[in-house]
A and B are shown apart, each in its own frame.
Chain A
Amino acid sequence: MAKRLANVNTDVCVACGVCRLQCPREAISIYKGCYALVNEDICVGCGLCEKACPASAIDLKERGI
């Protein structure tokens, strides 16, 4: 399991879906048009979504063991 994973601040997320398009693992979906939802089992914490997010709503956090 990867050490890190993407973490979405759902309060700031504008649900534009840029992160979803960027994710190479297709781990992100837009939940009911409200915010980005990361599938934690698939996410490898590469950070491509974090770089693309225009609202700075995504950060990478350490996985709990």
Chain B
Amino acid sequence: MANSKKKHWYNYLWIWSIIYFALGFFNILFAWLGMIDFILPLIFAIVGGNKWFCNNMCGRGQLFWVLGRNVGCSRKKPAPKWLSSKWFRYGFLIFFLTMFGTMVFQTYMVFSGAGTLRKAIKLFWTFKVPWQWAYQGSVFPDWVAQFGFGFYSLMLTSTLIGLIVMVLYKERTWCTFCPMGTMTQGICKIKKH
């Protein structure tokens, strides 16, 4: 970042990314706060026809920049072309939305009583990690917590993928195939025409 530029409060949202995962470690209900990162970019894109969220506010992108550039944890090598190609970007978006849908369905199963609350998170949609300390019951019904576990899994998995590509390639390589980024750019392109 150019040093001469004025710093705004939203330049520090990378701290939020860390706080988010810390809060979810102690109480899974905090995972719901991640919905802000889902809804805000869409509002900016649909209403404003811009990517102001990605460009200025994305805490995750900022975190990758801080760790990759400022801390020096990135090789800063160009990523393979296919990683930012259209078919991979939209393919990953579809995959991501499918997994999101599966997670919502699991939440519904708990809501309807057909399933029971599982106090675990799933990394890379495969590896189950016990997480029972993060929920001891609350005033909310079980499905609220189930969504929390599912959503936290999604957020943690995507951040881990982002960290891996940050180390291997450029600082913000994640941004090239980030599902939210693909979606908002797609909306902006439709709006422009």
Q: Chain B interface (Cβ within 8 Å of chain A)?
A: 1-2, 4-5, 45, 49-52, 54-56, 61, 65, 76, 78-79, 81, 84, 89, 169-176, 178, 181-182, 184-185, 187-189, 191-192
* Chain A residues closer than 8 Å to B89, beta-carbon distance: 14
Residue from the list B1, B45, B55, B172 in contact with A54, Cβ < 8 A: B172
Residue from the list B5, B84, B187 in contact with A14, Cβ < 8 A: B84
What's the least CB distance linking B85 to chain A, in Å?
8
Q: B54, B171, B174, B178: which has the most chain A beta carbons within 10 Å?
A: B54
A16 contacts B170, CB within 8 Å? no
B76 contacts A51, CB within 8 Å? yes
* Chain B residues closer than 8 Å to A53, beta-carbon distance: 170
The B-contacting residues of A in range 6-37, CB under 8 angstroms, are: 12, 14-18, 20-24, 26, 30, 32-34
Interchain CA distance A22-B69 in the complex, whole Å: 12
- Which 5 pairs across A and B sit closest by C-beta, in order of nearness? A33-B188, A17-B55, A16-B175, A33-B51, A55-B84
A22 contacts B2, CB within 8 Å? yes
B51 contacts A15, CB within 8 Å? yes
Interchain CA distance A26-B1 in the complex, whole Å: 11
Given contacts A17-B56, A33-B184, contact A54 B169 (CB under 8 A): yes
Give the secondary structure class of B's interface: helix
Given contacts A32-B188, A34-B189, contact A56 B84 (CB under 8 A): yes
Interchain CA distance A57-B172 in the complex, whole Å: 13
Which range contains the number of A residues in contact with the other chain?
20 to 34
* Chain B residues closer than 8 Å to A33, beta-carbon distance: 45, 49-52, 184-185, 187-189, 191-192
Q: Is A44 positioned at the interface, with any CB of B under 8 Å from its CB? A: no
Q: Is A52 positioned at the interface, with any CB of B under 8 Å from its CB? A: yes
What's the least CB distance linking B159 to chain A, in Å?
16
Nearest residue, chain A, Cβ from B4: A24
Given contacts A16-B54, A30-B50, A34-B192, contact A56 B81 (CB under 8 A): yes
B55 contacts A20, CB within 8 Å? yes
Nearest residue, chain B, Cβ from A33: B188
* Chain A residues closer than 8 Å to B174, beta-carbon distance: 54
